[in-house]
Structure 1
Amino acid sequence: MQFITNANYHFIMYQAFNAYHGAINTNDESVKNALRFSCIDKARAIFDTLTTEQEALIGEIFHIRSEEELEAFDAKLQNYLVPFPSINEKTVKKLFPKVKKLKAPDLPAEQMDRLVFLGWNDTGAQKKFIIAQHDHQLVAVHGSFTPISKKGICAFCHQNERVGLFKADIKAKGNNDNFRAIGQYICADSLTCSNNIKSESRLLEFINVLKA
């Protein structure tokens, strides 16, 4: 049964990596085991409920003792991934009805499946478009995007990457005729950002503000 989102997968593998590499840096077996159990607890905690089988799957982090076993765990997790929905031209037109002549990037199916969100830049118009999934529904936002010349912390993936200011207008409270701009510094390369995300919370919080 598929139950792991791509963001979940990134987080679980991060914990598996920490458990393995942390353990090889100490000779104290009790410290190693404490670290392994801590990483397992963190990985399990991102789910509201888990079956016995699902708990056991994540619990396999405890037994990783080599790079080969880490890779084998990675491969096994991928059998449980929930794929990101396929995005075609019809979907894009439906999600961005007021934007003319817009096309999403043509990604291979295996790359599309592994996305946390789909994002792309229209460099000519200095805009960025984002499609994500929330409560099993696709949601989309777009706004201006201005790259900056240095690295910074992305508001979505929280990694130090090349970023830019993504800014969009929302209606001011109590007045449907007035708008105010809100913005965040996010990755210029949305594919890199998607691959970095271990929790969708910051991404979805920002989208919810724009869609409110």
Structure 2
Amino acid sequence: MSTPFIRNHQYNIIKKQAEFLQNTLRTVADRSVLETVRYRAAASIIEAFPYLTGDQQQMLEQISTFETTYDFQKYLSTLEAYLEPYPPITLKQIQKLFPKNKKLKVPDLRSIDFRYLTYLSWVDIATNKLFIVYPFEGQFIGIEGRITPTHKKGYCLFCNRHQELAFFTVRTNPSSASPDHFSAIGQYVCKESRGCNQCITDTGALEKFIFTVLK
């Protein structure tokens, strides 16, 4: 049985390198350049993993040997069996993360393919609120805030792709201030999270934002 070891953002890195290598193969004839790009693609993928077994590294490095679109498609399809899905979560667990929201509207969890999630999120249109649930070190972290469409394109904080953005504002309550004093932290993020999850290649900015909010 396949042991999952590839997280969603790591799989996105693999997809990105596969696409880049395919484009290079179609447009570059210089063999020395191609070999350099092949090596760099494999190295970029390996660098995304803090630990790999010998077999896992060998499997990932196969990308440097492919020639055809079929080869790359088969490679990506094969790796899907090794995807480490978003940890199992229930409706009750989500509700406990947002205790003040007695009428919390949660998406149908059965309709979500958790293999391709780095973070779970949804928008409550009625309240213009964005909810994010992120797994970290065996537990779930939940944050919520107001979401305001900008109708403009820019770079998302989480996935760094150029896309239509929304401004996500999270209210905070600094521990050093009085209970009645609030401040807010805001960032531009993707208007819809599905595409963001499909493109995110680094969890650093997402985690930094979450923990800044929770301070």
TM-score range, shorter chain: over 0.9
The number of residue pairs the alignment matches comes to 212
Q: Give, as a single letter, the amino acid of the residue that structure 2 aligns with 1:140.
A: G
Q: Give the Cα separation in 1 of the matches to 2:125 and 2:55.
A: 47
> Equivalent pairs: percent with the same residue?
31
Question: What RMSD, in angstroms, separates the aligned Cα atoms of the two structures?
Answer: 1.6
Query: How do residues 15-26 of structure 1 correspond to structure 2 at under 5 angstroms?
Result: 15-26=17-28
TM-score, structure 1 normalization: 0.94
- What do residues 18-71 of structure 1 show as CA deviations (whole Å, max 9, x unaligned)? 122213321111110110101111111111121111110111111111110010
Q: Give, as a single letter, the amino acid of the residue that structure 1 aligns with 2:120.
A: L
Runs of 4+ more than 6 Å apart? none
Q: Is this contact kept in 2: 1:88–1:104, CA < 8 A?
A: no
2:204 to 201, 204, 208: 201
SS at match of 1:33: helix
SS at match of 2:152: strand
2:37 to 35, 39, 47: 35
Shift of 1:176: 4.4
SS at match of 1:24: helix
Q: Give the Cα separation in 2 of the matches to 1:49 and 1:7.
A: 15
Q: Give, as a single letter, the amino acid of the residue that structure 1 aligns with 2:171.
A: D
- What do residues 183-210 of structure 1 show as CA deviations (whole Å, max 9, x unaligned)? 0011111112111211111111111111
TM-score, structure 2 normalization: 0.92
Residue 127, structure 1, aligned to residue 124, structure 2? no
Q: Give the Cα separation in 1 of the matches to 2:192 and 2:124.
A: 12
Q: Which runs of 5+ in 1 are unaligned?
A: none
Identify the residue that residue 140 of structure 1 maps to in structure 2: 142
Identify the residue that residue 48 of structure 2 maps to in structure 1: 46
Q: Is this contact kept in 1: 2:147–2:169, CA < 8 A?
A: yes
Residue 189, structure 1, aligned to residue 192, structure 2? yes
Query: How do residues 72-151 of structure 1 correspond to structure 2 at under 5 angstroms?
Result: 72-108=74-110, 111-151=113-153
